[in-house]
Structure 1
């Protein structure tokens, strides 16, 4: 087998991932290669350039750029995955503990949830100013993610028309494939109707994505929509008079889970409502719950945001 350089091999892996439809992973590998190349001063990197010293310098380089722990970990783990793949293919001899003592774990991020009163302000149109159409859509999207049990934007944007049957929304999560069932409350149905996709050739329930792209173009279209959403959401705190918070596409999900815990909703119910498939997220074994239990949990959180009255799960 040809002895590729590290640069050649990563580019080959990126092409393979794209052919497999794994565009998100290919995207991470692309930026990992770019950052690692910059850390060594540019040019082609040969396998000898991937050593303990270079890896430590790469980590320091990212730290000097003030990258977060999780960003650094993502890049280091991407290099490790590529290295392991090269070892499996016989391109290089595996070096024991090459990636030891580097940042490869996952750290708890800064607080992404907001309080019930803050969320109430964020999803209401401010009476003292007019919002642009793009900000209004971002605000509605934030509302819809909260109303649909903290649904991630990727799942929301990729909902299909046949996922909605009356008031029951059933889909599979983009990240894990876990089935997620949501009883659509009236407030959410209003927003779904507002952004419903009426194009007969599009499979999507909402008009966030065109439905006309495929493969790499579809991934790039989604990434562009996500960037635009986060850009507009970042403007909401100032426009809505909410100080000291940052808002992004993660805010709805973290807020739903945090408020559910604050209202003493059992962790098993929270797990089911979020569609988790890993105990690293919720610590408890996932089991199925009747739809009315999930609906009750969602209603508690919505009412808490709207009215400010905290109904505790155990009292209902």
Structure 2
């Protein structure tokens, strides 16, 4: 018992924070017992943390913060006191760790309590990932939710539909997943997308104290990327798409218009295009927030853009979507509408490329890259192009512009040679 008595005096020596084993005398039970709690005091505020045990007041030693030996409610008093001490020690370790990181005084008492009571409820990497998906859906961040869900689905398939624990997502696992990915003929950049999401899930778990930094697998595993293929098409190809004669009953008619509208709206993404409503048109301008970054756009409607928009805004109310992409009412289903429509749109763009004799691969991203490239050819300053694309950094814009067509480079070379 001497060792137990020494341990029971374990205290927390932090100026603004105190922790004590105590009885919660405000909550009397039917057997006249009171809950045993950890009483947490922080910055002059107090709260309690229930430990799941209770005892009558006459059997509680408040000075030594333990149950008296005369208590007959359990077979082993020493074992129960040791369990109480263990809970207090764990809480003290958490608080000392927060103090060591100089973060203790920046946390509220509720935040500290949450750190203490929070058990590792997610031993499973997949379960935790799914919980993040659910949180994103509640926050109506359906784009991110779909991205996370897709990665979790692939990981589950790779793991033969078995659960995946946090400790199993280690360096060796990532290398095996990498080999699996490449064996299926997939790209380096495709792998990078998966790995960045896995890393994001792991980082969120570390911040939530579900797992320690020591287990972080990306300390040694480095995510690799490779320069993407040139996505921009030349102005001749853009004009060919614009001049393409199509019947209004043909789906390609709409796909052509989506592509051109995207190009004319600073390379607007397909999802932002899909969510445009009639009330986004104000004073002959299109005003909207980009979903990916929440950046505001305010774009003048040119005569060319007006020709496309006028076809879609007839007999519509302000709350109606401009383009016939979204069909359903709830936001989650609307995101699904956009995903399915984008797949059909990309297939349609392949057909348009064949009709217009465009050899390059035509996708929903090409209009954005083409807009950036053509802006550069028209000597629009890089800072302006960056602002039009909604980029936070010029380096991001330069990625769009780094692949100049060979004929442009040839022309520059001829100019240089002509001076010799």
TM class by shorter chain equals 0.7 to 0.9
Matching of residue 240 in structure 1 with residue 356 in structure 2? yes
Report the alpha carbon displacement of residue 122 of structure 1 after superposing the two structures with TM: 2.3
Q: Which structure's CA Rg is the greater one?
A: 2
- Please say if residues 176 and 277 of structure 1, whose CA atoms lie closer than 8 Å, have aligned partners that are also in contact: no
CA displacement, residues 51-70 of structure 1 (integer Å, 9 cap, x when unaligned): 11001111121122232222
- Please say if residues 122 and 128 of structure 2, whose CA atoms lie closer than 8 Å, have aligned partners that are also in contact: no
Matching of residue 195 in structure 1 with residue 312 in structure 2? yes
Which residue in the other structure is 1:4 paired with? 123
Structure 1: gaps spanning 5 or more residues: 284-316
TM-score computed with the length of structure 1 as normaliser: 0.80
Which residue in the other structure is 2:277 paired with? 160
Which residue in the other structure is 1:117 paired with? 236
Structure 2: gaps spanning 5 or more residues: 1-118, 399-420
The 1:106/1:158 distance shift into structure 2, 3 A limit, reads: farther
Matches of 1:250 and 1:99 in 2, distance apart? 30
Matches of 1:119 and 1:245 in 2, distance apart? 12
Which residue in the other structure is 1:145 paired with? 262
Report the alpha carbon displacement of residue 186 of structure 1 after superposing the two structures with TM: 0.9
Which residue in the other structure is 2:179 paired with? 60
Report the alpha carbon displacement of residue 188 of structure 1 after superposing the two structures with TM: 0.9
Matches of 2:222 and 2:251 in 1, distance apart? 38
Q: Give the alignment partner of residue 78 of structure 1, picking from 194, 197, 215.
A: 197
The 1:197/1:89 distance shift into structure 2, 3 A limit, reads: farther
More strand by share: 2
Q: Alignment RMSD, CA only?
A: 2.3
Matching of residue 281 in structure 1 with residue 396 in structure 2? yes
Matching of residue 19 in structure 1 with residue 138 in structure 2? yes
Report the alpha carbon displacement of residue 45 of structure 1 after superposing the two structures with TM: 1.3
Matches of 1:254 and 1:274 in 2, distance apart? 10
Matches of 1:165 and 1:87 in 2, distance apart? 45
Which residue in the other structure is 1:297 paired with? none
The 1:221/1:65 distance shift into structure 2, 3 A limit, reads: same
Matching of residue 222 in structure 1 with residue 324 in structure 2? no
Matches of 2:243 and 2:222 in 1, distance apart? 41
Q: Give the alignment partner of residue 35 of structure 1, picking from 154, 176, 179.
A: 154
Matches of 1:96 and 1:46 in 2, distance apart? 12
Q: Give the alignment partner of residue 266 of structure 1, picking from 364, 381, 385.
A: 381
Matches of 1:145 and 1:123 in 2, distance apart? 12
The 1:146/1:180 distance shift into structure 2, 3 A limit, reads: same
Matches of 2:355 and 2:226 in 1, distance apart? 31
CA displacement, residues 129-187 of structure 1 (integer Å, 9 cap, x when unaligned): 97961011101111122222322222222223222123222222121111212111111
Q: Which secondary structure state, in structure 2, belongs to the residue aligned with residue 55 of structure 1?
A: helix
Q: Which secondary structure state, in structure 1, belongs to the residue aligned with residue 213 of structure 2?
A: coil
111-120 or 273-282, which deviates more = 273-282
Matches of 1:145 and 1:233 in 2, distance apart? 13
Aligned counterparts, 1:127-146, within 5 A: 133-146=250-263
Matches of 2:278 and 2:238 in 1, distance apart? 28
Q: How many residues align?
A: 279
Which residue in the other structure is 1:298 paired with? none
Higher relative contact order (CA 8 A, sep 6+): 1
The 1:248/1:170 distance shift into structure 2, 3 A limit, reads: same
The 1:209/1:63 distance shift into structure 2, 3 A limit, reads: same
Report the alpha carbon displacement of residue 15 of structure 1 after superposing the two structures with TM: 1.2
Q: Which secondary structure state, in structure 1, belongs to the residue aligned with residue 229 of structure 2?
A: coil
94-103 or 63-72, which deviates more = 94-103
